[in-house]
């Protein structure tokens, strides 16, 4: 009746996961009750959970990503603690089977449920605003995508309380991940959670490629789009081309595990290197799916806080697309040791090094943007500079790793770990923190506390270097990754420095929470009245903060690059706004619970598959199909915002802008 599920699935004997999951459950129940007591459930349900507004969906993605960041970070600090303790005679506090689950969960969560939701969240929030339009191409599907991602995150975290997580590393390489060697539900949690969230990600890509190519404000030609839109386009094209391969790869492993197929098994003609090839055909573009939007964020920050147009806009676009294409030609550098031969390894090694060229172009463009500009050293600018310093080193160690003979030596060592954390933390996480600070006022109407923001930056910057520079050294000394026990006592000082670094990053994470709380408490001191707190250059700063549901009362007419900057300078020069346009009623998509119900059935079905509860799996599938048909049967998918409301809001915005214009022209 309940498949493999029984009382033994709950980790009674294991205090760490048991207590953690109990605390999390109590906290979640507490928050739910608190929201209910305050009477906020209708608001949360109507304004967020069922919302088809790209801004609200973006915020939900970002909240999900930040919550999962805390989970992933807890895993990280547990690993650092273990490696500092389990040296020589000591075995530390984590037994191997638990330690293996922790590093697997850390990688899986950080990539799929931290980096991806955060990057997609910022795309959601920003891209339609920057394109000067009212929503994405498929607003309901957008909501569905988010809830499918959340469903995957739920299943991953459920493994803490029911059963176990995979002990196979974040990519679950066979034959270790086959049923023979991993008979438990851990790998199944991994596979099912990623399949569900993967569907959400592909739908997001369909949505954003369509939006960017087909839904733009009048006059917004391709070479007038902000660079963040370009990099989002490139990232979504990569998702569209890479994620189906992940679906296939994980699907084949599921067939092996559930139905005794022989794709990657040791017997029956299976070939585990096929898995390596397939997973990295997805895995390498995935790196660029994360870093390209980050490059876009840095481009926006560089131009805004240098008070100058981005240097080399067209070369930036060209570099983005070059990276987008070359990223599909380098996957083999993840397993040079496979033994494909010198020729193949050389080709992939050279292709990997070539990627450094367009990336270098970008670095120089940001530097030249700053050169001669009026640089304001606000928090996002700190992250930009910190990123450039960190990322260049990370890029250089990457070029080292791309040399096959070197790779043979440092393959799977802590050198590799240091390299990819350097590009992901120094590249993606810094960008996310910059974007969080930069676009926060647009989302909520007030800025974050600047001093605390700088403190957080220094925690990340110093903490990161302390945590990962020692790993380069250890990697050269032969320390391999994923070690539950450290045999060589001379490594201890370096591991302790790494632990110290992780603690400093931890202080940064705590300060982020403090900053949010303090900024909300003292928001009256930092209200963003004008909608343009940073003297921005792109269209999201044209509308108020937070923007109305429909973003723009009238779609802006774009003339030239830097749509908003041009318009703002004209207004300042003429000391007047453009002539009041003729307002029209606006048609907007209605909110719908389709996404959350769909994800409910997906979670039920996924859970049932993990635990082999077949009747429940079939029930879940039927439920999902029924929701689909029910939604398709609805006739009304849009509602009309009356022209009076549009006009009233727009006039209010014009009044605020006029006042702002007067202060500006008086100050100059």
Partner 1 sequence: MTTEAATIGLTHGGSEDTGLGHRGPESKSIVVPYGFWLFVLSDMILFSALFATYATLVHATAGGPTTNQLFDRNLVAIETVALLLSSFTCGLAMIAAKRKNMVWTQGWLLVTGLLGAVFLFIELYEFAMMIGEGAGPQRSAFLSSFFTLVGCHGAHVTAGLLWIGTMMAQIWAKGFKDHILRRLLCLSVFWHALDIIWVAIFTIVYLIGTLP
Q: Which residues are catalytic?
A: 61, 71, 75, 79, 103, 124, 135, 142, 145, 149, 201, 204, 211, 284, 286, 288, 299, 315, 359, 362, 419-421
Give me the long-range contacts of 599-606 (CB less than 8 A, separation at least 24). Answer: 599/144, 599/147, 599/148, 599/150, 599/151, 600/151, 601/627, 602/148, 602/151, 602/196, 603/151, 603/154, 603/155, 603/196, 606/151, 606/155, 606/192, 606/193, 606/195, 606/196
**Dist. CA 33–CA 616, nearest whole Å:** 29
Identified binder of partner 1 from the candidate list 1, 89, 259, 640, rule CB under 8 A: 259
The C-alpha torsion from 121 through 127 and 133 to 135, rounded to 10°, is -20
**Dist. CA 115–CA 583, nearest whole Å:** 40
Is residue 489 within 8 A of residue 87, CB to CB? The reply is yes
Q: State yes or no: cis peptide before 546, omega within 30 of 0.
A: yes
Nearer Cβ to partner 1, position 256 or 591?
256
CB of 351 to partner 1, least distance (A): 19
| Count of beta carbons in the 10 Å neighbourhood of residue 665 | 13
CB of 561 to partner 1, least distance (A): 14
Nearer Cβ to partner 1, position 49 or 274?
274
Residue 248 dihedral angles phi and psi, to the nearest 5°:
-60, -50
**Dist. CA 267–CA 288, nearest whole Å:** 35
**Dist. CA 576–CA 217, nearest whole Å:** 22
Half-sphere exposure of 347 (CA within 13 A, CB side): 8
**Dist. CA 628–CA 611, nearest whole Å:** 25
**Dist. CA 495–CA 490, nearest whole Å:** 10
Stretch of 177-185, 218-226, 570-578, 601-609 lying at the interface with partner 1 (CB under 8 A): 218-226
CB of 217 to partner 1, least distance (A): 6
Site for partner 1 in 261-320 (CB under 8 A): 261-263, 265, 267-271, 274, 278, 281
Site for partner 1 in 120-139 (CB under 8 A): 133, 137-138
Verify binding: residue 573, partner 1, rule CB under 8 A: no
CB of 163 to partner 1, least distance (A): 26
Nearer Cβ to partner 1, position 239 or 410?
239
Verify binding: residue 175, partner 1, rule CB under 8 A: no
Residue 639 dihedral angles phi and psi, to the nearest 5°:
-130, 160
Verify binding: residue 213, partner 1, rule CB under 8 A: yes
Nearer Cβ to partner 1, position 112 or 208?
208
**Dist. CA 185–CA 212, nearest whole Å:** 40
CB of 209 to partner 1, least distance (A): 6
Verify binding: residue 241, partner 1, rule CB under 8 A: yes
Identified binder of partner 1 from the candidate list 101, 249, 390, 515, rule CB under 8 A: 249
Site for partner 1 in 136-165 (CB under 8 A): 137-138
- For the chain, the maximum distance between any two Cα atoms, rounded to a whole number of angstroms, is 81
CB of 637 to partner 1, least distance (A): 8
CB of 329 to partner 1, least distance (A): 15
The site map against partner 1 for 608-647 (x = CB under 8 A) is: -----------------x---x--xx-x-x----------
Stretch of 173-181, 251-259, 360-368, 448-456 lying at the interface with partner 1 (CB under 8 A): 251-259
**Dist. CA 548–CA 542, nearest whole Å:** 12
Residues contributing to the site for partner 1 (CB under 8 A)? 133, 137-138, 202, 205-207, 209-210, 213-222, 240-241, 243-245, 247-249, 251-252, 255-256, 259-263, 265, 267-271, 274, 278, 281, 555, 625, 629, 632-633, 635, 637
């Amino acid at each position: 009746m309940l498949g493999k599920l029984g009382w033994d699935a709950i980790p009674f004997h294991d205090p760490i996961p048991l207590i953690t999951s109990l605390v999390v459950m109590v906290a979640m129940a507490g928050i739910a009750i608190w929201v209910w007591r305050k009477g906020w459930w209708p608001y949360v349900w109507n304004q967020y959970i069922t919302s088809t507004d790209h801004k609200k969906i973006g915020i939900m993605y970002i909240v999900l990503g930040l919550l999962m960041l805390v989970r992933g970070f807890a895993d990280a600090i547990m690993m650092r603690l273990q490696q500092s303790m389990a040296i020589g005679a000591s075995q530390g506090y984590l037994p191997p089977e638990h330690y293996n689950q922790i590093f697997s969960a850390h990688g899986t969560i950080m990539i799929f449920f931290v980096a991806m939701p955060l990057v997609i969240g910022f795309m959601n929030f920003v891209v339609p605003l920057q394109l000067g339009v009212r929503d994405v191409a498929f607003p309901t599907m957008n909501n569905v995508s988010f809830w499918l991602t959340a469903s995957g995150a739920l299943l991953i975290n459920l493994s803490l309380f029911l059963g176990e997580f995979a002990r196979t590393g974040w990519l679950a390489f066979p034959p270790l991940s086959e049923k023979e060697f991993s008979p438990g539900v851990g790998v199944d949690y991994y596979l099912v959670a990623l399949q569900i969230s993967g569907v959400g990600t592909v739908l997001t890509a369909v949505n954003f490629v369509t939006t960017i190519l087909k839904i733009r404000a009048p006059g917004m030609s391709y070479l007038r789009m902000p660079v963040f839109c370009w990099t989002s386009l490139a990232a979504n094209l990569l998702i569209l081309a890479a994620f189906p391969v992940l679906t296939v790869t994980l699907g084949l492993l599921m067939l092996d595990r559930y139905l005794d197929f022989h794709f990657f098994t040791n017997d029956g003609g299976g070939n585990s290197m096929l898995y390596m090839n397939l997973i990295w055909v997805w895995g390498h573009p995935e790196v660029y799916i994360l870093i390209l939007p980050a490059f876009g964020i840095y481009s926006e920050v560089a131009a805004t806080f240098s008070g100058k147009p981005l240097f080399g806009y067209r070369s930036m676009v060209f570099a983005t697309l070059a990276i987008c294409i070359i990223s599909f030609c380098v996957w083999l550098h993840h397993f040079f040791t496979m033994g494909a031969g010198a020729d193949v390894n050389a080709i992939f090694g050279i292709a990997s090094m070539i990627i450094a060229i367009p990336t270098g172009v970008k670095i120089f463009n940001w530097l030249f943007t700053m050169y001669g500009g009026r640089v304001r050293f606000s928090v996002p600018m700190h992250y930009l500079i910190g990123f450039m310093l960190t990322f260049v080193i990370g890029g250089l160690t990457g070029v080292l790793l791309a040399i096959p003979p070197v790779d043979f030596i440092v393959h799977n060592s802590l050198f590799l770990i240091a390299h990819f954390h350097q590009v992901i933390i120094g590249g993606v996480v810094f960008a996310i923190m910059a974007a969080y600070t930069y676009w926060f006022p647009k989302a909520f109407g007030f800025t974050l506390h600047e001093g605390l923001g700088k403190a957080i930056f220094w925690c990340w910057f110093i903490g990161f270097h302390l945590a990962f520079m020692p790993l380069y050294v250890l990697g050269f000394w032969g320390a391999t990754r994923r070690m539950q026990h450290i045999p060589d006592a001379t490594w201890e000082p370096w591991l302790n420095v790494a632990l110290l670094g992780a603690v400093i990053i931890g202080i940064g994470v705590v300060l982020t929470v403090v900053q949010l709380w303090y900024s909300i408490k003292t928001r009256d001191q930092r209200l963003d009245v004008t909608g343009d707190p940073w003297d921005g250059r792109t269209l999201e700063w044209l509308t108020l903060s937070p923007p109305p549901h429909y973003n723009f009362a009238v779609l802006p007419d774009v003339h030239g690059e830097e749509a908003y900057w041009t318009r703002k300078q004209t207004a300042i020069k003429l000391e007047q706004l453009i002539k009041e346009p003729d307002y029209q009623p606006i048609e907007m998509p209605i909110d719908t619970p389709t996404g959350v119900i769909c994800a409910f059935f997906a979670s039920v079905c996924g859970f049932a598959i993990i635990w082999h509860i077949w009747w429940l799996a079939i029930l879940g599938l039927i439920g999902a199909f029924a929701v689909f048909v029910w939604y398709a049967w609805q006739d009304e998918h849009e509602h009309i915002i009356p022209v009076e409301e549009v006009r009233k809001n727009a006039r209010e915005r014009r009044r605020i802008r006029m006042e702002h214009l007067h202060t500006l022209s008086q100050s100059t």
